[in-house]
Amino acid sequence: MSAHTVLDHVDQYLRLGQEYGCSDVHLATAYPPAWRRNGLLQPIWEDHAPLTSEETDKLAQSFLGHKEWARLKEKGDVDFAYDNGEGRFRASVVRQRLGLDMVFRIISTQIRTIEEIGLPLDHILPLTRYHNGLVLVTGSVGSGKSTTLAALIDFINKDREDHILTLEDPIEYVFDSASCHVNQREVHSHTDSFAKALRGALREDPDVIMVGEMRDLETIQLALTAAETGHLVLGTLHTGNAPRTLDRILDVFPTDQRDQIRIMVSESLRGILSQQLVPKADGSGRALALELLVNTPAVANCIREGKTFMLPGVMQTGKNVGMITMDESLRKLYIQGVITRDECLFRAEDKIQMRAFFQS
């Protein structure tokens, strides 16, 4: 194929992305077709001309349904799960200054198990067996939160005999009911917002609720209430580590409510998994760096007193329950030769300490 031929349909680009093991495909005005492989964004063909606004318009029309096209025209952006029969994708189309930008996250239909991802089984399983409380999976965009969450839900689905309700935007992994009854609801398709879906959820008698994203005061408040009233709530936040996650939850509340919320969180939190995917030294893919905070009396005390800055110290003394800080996880990967020194330092929370570790 000539490097200047623009393919007729979005699906042709997506097929290439799937074939070459990419996480995302980008089709953007004034930029050549690109993909993200092993965390790096690169053009699919080195000498491909940038796409024109007419070409991206035509590509958008090749896959958008009437409803999505209308939403794009009205709102300027549309975000939904796209299924073309060969795979599922999280599609995002936005109108920008030069034309349309399309990004597709390739969703692996194969749900990976807790062991396959490399999560510490002994310490993660207890978190899935609680009958109430809050378990958070955090990390930046593209750090594998959805994959981890899907593995946890998949495990619960086989391990317990309960009602699982997922609230997602959009639905990514599809779960078939195993020994649990699973209901999946998509924001915009089946309900207007996470908050509205959560309010409805409490009337549907679920045992486990998965909240795709806890991004505003109302959603966080409802999730905390659900966790307190006998539901196990699994949620995600875009934060880099456990202390920042807790600060983020508290910061959305008005100041006069914070003392009460700190008590609520200290009682209902079960654990926080923070993760990032780090490029491997040999270029063969990415390795999972994982921070795990488990709520112990010492952790609850820090949260109640608003001393989240003391958590890294508490985590270092909680190794017996599986606690590990992000920096310890990065050090381990570096010692095993999985990641480079540069990556290890670049991603470290405490750069001074990490430099001292390299010099010792």
Q: Is the pLDDT of residue 278 over 50?
A: yes
What's the CA gap between 279 and 143, in Å, rounded? 11
Q: Is the pLDDT of residue 2 over 60?
A: no
Provide the pLDDT for residue 352: 96
CATH 3.40.50.300 occupies which residues in the chain? 114-359
Q: Is the pLDDT of residue 57 over 50?
A: yes
Q: Is the pLDDT of residue 55 over 90?
A: yes
The region of weakest confidence among 1-5, 117-121, 325-329 is 1-5
CATH fold of the domain at 10-107: Beta-Lactamase (3.30.450)
pTM of the model: 0.87
| Encoded tokens for 319 | 């190794």
Instruction: Output 108 or 299, whichever has higher pLDDT.
Output: 299
DSSP SS3 for 69: helix
Average pLDDT, the chain: 93
Per-residue confidence band for 1, with pLDDT thresholds at 50, 70 and 90 = very low
Provide the pLDDT for residue 10: 96
Catalogue the E-assigned strands of 187-339: 208-211, 232-237, 269-279, 286-294
Q: Which of 64, 81, 69 is nearest to 170 (CA)?
A: 81
Per-residue confidence band for 4, with pLDDT thresholds at 50, 70 and 90 = low
Instruction: Output 193 or 27, whichever has higher pLDDT.
Output: 27
Per-residue confidence band for 213, with pLDDT thresholds at 50, 70 and 90 = confident
What's the CA gap between 312 and 293, in Å, rounded? 9
What's the CA gap between 149 and 153, in Å, rounded? 6
Half-sphere exposure of 245 (CA within 13 A, CB side): 30
pLDDT in tens, 240-276: 899 999 999 999 999 999 999 999 999 999 999 999 9
If you compute the radius of gyration of the chain from its CA atoms, what whole number of angstroms results? 22
Strands ordered across the beta sheet of 181-186: 181-186, 163-168, 208-211, 232-237, 133-138, 269-279, 286-294
CATH 3.30.450.90 occupies which residues in the chain? 10-107
Q: Is the pLDDT of residue 93 over 70?
A: yes
Provide the pLDDT for residue 59: 96
Q: Which residues pair with 236 in a beta bridge?
A: 137
CATH no. of 114-359: 3.40.50.300
Residue 135: CB atoms within 10 Å: 23
pLDDT in tens, 314-345: 999 999 999 999 999 999 999 999 999 999 99
pLDDT in tens, 164-178: 999 998 888 999 999
First to last CA, the chain: 54
Q: Is the pLDDT of residue 8 over 90?
A: no
